[in-house]
Structure 1
Amino acid sequence: MSVIQNIQKVYFIGIGGIGMSALARYFHSLGKLVSGYDKTSTVLTKSLEAAGIAIHYEENIELIPKDADVVVYTPAIPAAQAELVYYRQHQYQVVKRSDVLQWITESSFNVCIGGTHGKTTITTMTAHLLRDTGYGCNAFLGGISANYNTNFWSSEKNVCVVEADEYDRSFLKLVPDVAIVTAMDADHLDIYGTAAEVENAFVQFANRVKPGGCLISKYGLSRAADLHASVQYTYSLTDTRADVYAADIKVENGAYRFDVIHKEWALQDVVLQMGGLHNIENSIAAITVAKYLGIEDDKIKIAVANFKGVKRRFEYMLRDGVHTLIDDYAHHPEELKALISGVRSLFPAEKCTIVFQPHLYSRTKDLAAEFAQSLDMADEVILLPIYPARELPMEGVTSELILGKMQLASKMVLSKEEMVQQIKEKQPGLLVMCGAGDIDTLLQPVKAVLQNGNA
C-alpha cells in the first residue's frame, strides 16, 4: 500500500471503462483527488461525476491536470491519444490499470477470478457472498452489481476480490491467494495470436497462486494437467467427476433450487434467483470460495438467495405476462451458447428471438463459424452491424459473415432503426438482446415498443 499512500492526485484516460471506473472509485474512497477523460458521456461517467469526480469529454491537453502524481490509462486507448502522448513526453508516471491492481493487491489477501467467460458474474457473486455474510472484502468488479448498483466497494478487511482480465495479459500482474479459472477458450487473438497462447497465459495465471493457496477451476479444461496449487478443486454444473457440482436442480417461480455436492460436504436447497443454467455453475465456483474461507452454510445460502445478479448478465428488463425481454453481455460464442441454453431451460415452450451485436472485427473474423453455430440454437436471429470498439474496419468482415454460416431459416442483418421497427411489428413474446457494444442503448426503445404493442 506504500505506493498508493504516496499518491494524492490521479488522472484516468478512459475513466468510463468498467475496470477503470472501479479504480477511480477506489482512489476517491481513499480521499485522493481523482479526475479523468473519456470520449463519451455514459451512465458510468455520470455516476462518477455525481460522486464528485471531474470528467471531460474533449481530447485536449489544456484540460488535463499538470500536477497529477499518476496517470492511469486503459489499453483500449490509442497510443496516439493526445493526452497520453503529452504525459509520456513530459515523463509523468504513466501506468496501466493492471499496474494499479498490482499495487493494491501486493499487501492483501486476494481472490482473483479469471476466464474467457463467466468471470464477471463469479467475481460479483463471490464479492457479494463475502459482503452479505459479514466476512468482508474490497471488490473490483467488471460489471455493475445489481445488489449494490456499483462495480467497487471498500472494506476494512484486508481482502480483495478482483476480476482478473486476460486482455493485454493484465492478469499476470496479480498474485492470488485464491484463483478461479472458468474457461480458456480462444479470445483476444489480436493480442495472443493463437488459441494455444491464450491457454498458456491462463496456465501462467493459475500457477501464480501463492504457496499454500487454492485454485478452483472448471472441470475438463484442456490444460488441467498443467495447473498446480497447494489446494485444488474442480467444479461443474452436473458432472459428478468434478470435486463440486450441482444435483437435483429444479425450476421454481423463475428461480433455481438445487443442492451443491462435494465429497466432504453438501449444501442443500440452495436458491438462485438469477436465470441461466450457467449461472448455477457460476454460483458453485463462488460457493466453493466461501466454503474454503470457512463461512457458515446458512450464511452462504442466505447470501445466494439474496443475490440479484449483475447488470447486463441475464438481466430481466421486462416481464409483463405478455413479453419477456432479457439483456445480456454475451459476446463470445461460448457465452451465447450458455445464454441461449439458459433461456431454453427457463422458457422451454417459448419461441426465442435473439438480437445480437457482434463486438470487434477481429473477434468476428476469427470466430464467425462458432458464432453461427451458437446462434442457430435460437428460433429467430437479428444481427446488428459490428461494434468496432477500438478497431478499424477489416475488409470483408461484416455481420453478413456470421449470417452466411448460419443454418437457421429465420435470420437477418438489420440496422438499429430497422431492428426496433421489426420488433414493433412482430411483438416477440421472448426477446433476448446481447452483445458487448452499445446494444444496451437500444433496450429502452425496444422495451417501449413492446409495452405499447402495435399502437
Structure 2
Amino acid sequence: MNLNQIHNVYFIGIGGIGMSNLARYFKNLGKQVCGYDKTPSVLTNELMESGIAIHFEDSIDLIPKDFFIENTLVIITPAVPVTHSEWNYFVEKEYEIKKRAEVLGLITKDTFCFAVAGTHGKTTTSGILGHILHQSGADVTAFIGGIVENYNSNLIGSGTTVTVVEADEFDRSFLHLHPNIACITSMDADHLDIYGTSEAIEASFMEFAAKIEDKNNLFITKELPLEGITCAVNEDAIYKAFNIRIGDGSYVFDVQTPTEIIKDLHFGLPGRHNLMNAVMAIAMANLFGTPTDAIAKAIASFKGIKRRFSYQIKTDAKVYIDDYAHHPTEINAVHQAVRELYPNQKVLAIFQPHLYSRTRDFADEFAKSLSNFDEVLLLDIYPAREQPIQGVTSQWIKDKMLLNNKKLVAKNDLVTAILASDATVVVTIGAGDIGELVPSIKKAINETL
C-alpha cells in the first residue's frame, strides 16, 4: 500500500494517545483527516481546534461524504468493539482498513526509523530522543505515547525522512515496525492477558531484536539476554552515566561514549530510571551523528512527559506529584525518585490499579511496592477493556500489604481522605482515569496552603 496515494484518513478511536499523534501526522502531510471517538477529551478538543472533524456517535450518517470515495484509509484501534457500525460499514464496502501498528509499519518502512522498545521507559526515552533530534535540526517526526511538555503534543516535528516511534509490545504491535536503530529498555513480564507467560513476552522481544541485523545498532541494558550495545548508570558499559550529582534540582552527570566523555550534562527529570532513559536516547542520537553540543543543549532543555513524575504542587510546605506508573517496577521507580528528592518526609501514595488481569498477575508485587510508602490510599481497579475477575479487587492487594497505614477509598471520598493525611509529599499513581482527578486534588491541596 502506498500512503502517498491516500487522500483521506478516517480514524475509529481518534482520541487515543497513539491514534491522535497519527491523526496529527497525516494532517501535517496535507491529508483530509476526520474520525470518531466514544467520548470528548482534551486530545479530541485539540484535534478539533487544529481543523480535524470528530464526532462522538457511532453513526454512518456522520461520516463526511468526501470519505465515501477511493483513496481513503481507515485506521482502527484494538479497543473498538466488533459490533461498531462504522467499522462494519467500512469492512462491508471493502475499504483499506489497518490497525495503528500496521500504519506505523508502513511509515517506518519509508523512513530512517528509531524504535524504542521495553516494558517501561518507552515514552520518556522516545520523547528525549525526539527532542534531541528535532532540536539538532534533523528532518524528524517523533510519535510519542504521551504529551511532551516542551511541545504540549504527542507529536514532535513534521519531518518526512526520519521517524522516532515507541515500539509497543502490546498485541505484538512492534513486530510491524522497520527499525534502523533500536533500543530495549526492559523486558519485564506484562500484558500477560495477551502473552500468557513471561517466556512468551521475552520471545516476542527477541523477535523484535532480530529485526536489527547489525547489533551495533541495538542498544540494551546490561541484564538483558541479548546481543547489543550496553547502556548503564554507574556501571561499566559501552555508554554509561557516571559522576552523578544533584545540583539546583537537576541531575548533573558525565556520559562515557565509545569515543569521548561528554561532561556536565544537566537533566531535570528525577529518578535513576530517567537517567537510564536519557543514556539510551543519548546513545542512539550519538550513533546517528548528532553533535555533542546539540545533545547536551537538548538534554538540559527537556521538560518531561505529562503524567510521568509530573509536579502539580512544589512548595516548601507541600509537594504533589502525579505519575502514570501501572506496573510494580514503575511504582518502585517512583518511590526511589521521591525518597532521593525528599528524604525524611512522609509520603502518601494514591494508587488506582489498571486492569483486572494485571492486578491478578502482579498482586504480590503491587503489595510489596506500595508497602514502601508511608501511607497508601487504594482506589478500585480501573477495568479499561476488561470484565471483572472473581476475587481480584483492590481489597485483595490491601490485604497483602505489609503496611498498617492503608485504606480503600471511593473516588468521591478521595479528596477528603488526602486532606486528612499529614503527609508532606502526595503522589497519585496509575494509568486509568485517576489522571482526571488530578485537577480537583491539586485545587483542594492548594486551598489548604
TM over 0.5, yes or no? yes
Aligned to 1:84: 87
Is 1:314 equivalent to 2:309 in the alignment?
yes
- Give the Cα separation in 2 of the matches to 1:112 and 1:249: 27
2:181–2:212 Cα contact (<8 Å) kept? yes
The alpha carbon displacement at 1:23 in A equals 0.5
State the percentage of identical aligned residues: 45
Please list, as runs of the form range in 1=range in 2, the aligned pairs for 1:34-433 lying within 5 A after superposition.
Answer: 34-65=33-64, 67=68, 69-156=72-159, 158-211=161-214, 214-221=217-224, 223-224=225-226, 227=227, 232-240=228-236, 242-262=237-257, 264-426=259-421, 428-433=423-428
The count of aligned residue pairs is 445
- Give the Cα separation in 2 of the matches to 1:79 and 1:427: 49
In the alignment, residue 252 of structure 1 is paired with which amino acid?
Answer: G
2:345–2:423 Cα contact (<8 Å) kept? no
In the alignment, residue 353 of structure 1 is paired with which amino acid?
Answer: L
Is 1:30 equivalent to 2:29 in the alignment?
yes
The alpha carbon displacement at 1:187 in A equals 0.8
In the alignment, residue 209 of structure 1 is paired with which amino acid?
Answer: I
2:130–2:156 Cα contact (<8 Å) kept? no
In the alignment, residue 235 of structure 1 is paired with which amino acid?
Answer: C
Distance 1:212 1:382, change over 3 A: closer
- Give the Cα separation in 2 of the matches to 1:86 and 1:16: 20
- Give the Cα separation in 1 of the matches to 2:133 and 2:258: 23
2:8–2:32 Cα contact (<8 Å) kept? yes
- Give the Cα separation in 1 of the matches to 2:407 and 2:250: 32
Secondary structure class of the residue paired with 2:448 = coil
The alpha carbon displacement at 1:263 in A equals 5.1
- Give the Cα separation in 1 of the matches to 2:399 and 2:89: 45
The alpha carbon displacement at 1:45 in A equals 0.8
Is 1:6 equivalent to 2:5 in the alignment?
yes
2:21–2:154 Cα contact (<8 Å) kept? yes
TM-score by length of 1: 0.95
In the alignment, residue 396 of structure 1 is paired with which amino acid?
Answer: G
In the alignment, residue 327 of structure 1 is paired with which amino acid?
Answer: D
In the alignment, residue 107 of structure 2 is paired with which amino acid?
Answer: I
Secondary structure class of the residue paired with 1:45 = helix
- Give the Cα separation in 2 of the matches to 1:210 and 1:24: 31
- Give the Cα separation in 2 of the matches to 1:213 and 1:160: 19
Q: Which moved more, 1:294-303 or 1:177-186?
A: 294-303
1:26–1:154 Cα contact (<8 Å) kept? no
Q: Deviations over 1:332-384 (max 9, x none)?
A: 11111111111111111211111111111111111111111111111111111
- Give the Cα separation in 2 of the matches to 1:269 and 1:357: 38
The alpha carbon displacement at 1:61 in A equals 2.5
In the alignment, residue 237 of structure 1 is paired with which amino acid?
Answer: V
Distance 1:157 1:31, change over 3 A: closer
In the alignment, residue 24 of structure 1 is paired with which amino acid?
Answer: A
- Give the Cα separation in 1 of the matches to 2:74 and 2:338: 43
In the alignment, residue 93 of structure 2 is paired with which amino acid?
Answer: H
Is 1:18 equivalent to 2:21 in the alignment?
no
Distance 1:212 1:185, change over 3 A: closer
The alpha carbon displacement at 1:164 in A equals 0.9
- Give the Cα separation in 1 of the matches to 2:291 and 2:341: 30
Secondary structure class of the residue paired with 1:15 = coil
In the alignment, residue 327 of structure 2 is paired with which amino acid?
Answer: H
Q: Which moved more, 1:438-447 or 1:248-257?
A: 248-257
Secondary structure class of the residue paired with 1:397 = coil
Secondary structure class of the residue paired with 2:79 = coil
Secondary structure class of the residue paired with 1:407 = coil
In the alignment, residue 234 of structure 1 is paired with which amino acid?
Answer: T
Query: Which segments of 5 or more consecutive residues in structure 1 lack a partner in the other structure?
Result: none
Q: Deviations over 1:16-38 (max 9, x none)?
A: 11110010011111111111111
Q: Which moved more, 1:100-109 or 1:130-139?
A: 130-139
- Runs of 4+ in structure 1 off by over 4 angstroms are 210-213
- Give the Cα separation in 2 of the matches to 1:165 and 1:312: 18
1:26–1:153 Cα contact (<8 Å) kept? no
In the alignment, residue 446 of structure 2 is paired with which amino acid?
Answer: Q
The alpha carbon displacement at 1:213 in A equals 6.1
In the alignment, residue 198 of structure 1 is paired with which amino acid?
Answer: I
In the alignment, residue 305 of structure 2 is paired with which amino acid?
Answer: V
In the alignment, residue 45 of structure 2 is paired with which amino acid?
Answer: K
2:26–2:33 Cα contact (<8 Å) kept? yes
- Give the Cα separation in 2 of the matches to 1:70 and 1:211: 34
Q: Which moved more, 1:72-81 or 1:19-28?
A: 72-81
- Give the Cα separation in 2 of the matches to 1:244 and 1:446: 41
- Give the Cα separation in 2 of the matches to 1:121 and 1:384: 26
1:180–1:285 Cα contact (<8 Å) kept? yes
1:177–1:213 Cα contact (<8 Å) kept? no
Secondary structure class of the residue paired with 1:354 = strand
Q: Which moved more, 1:320-329 or 1:57-66?
A: 57-66
- Give the Cα separation in 2 of the matches to 1:296 and 1:31: 32
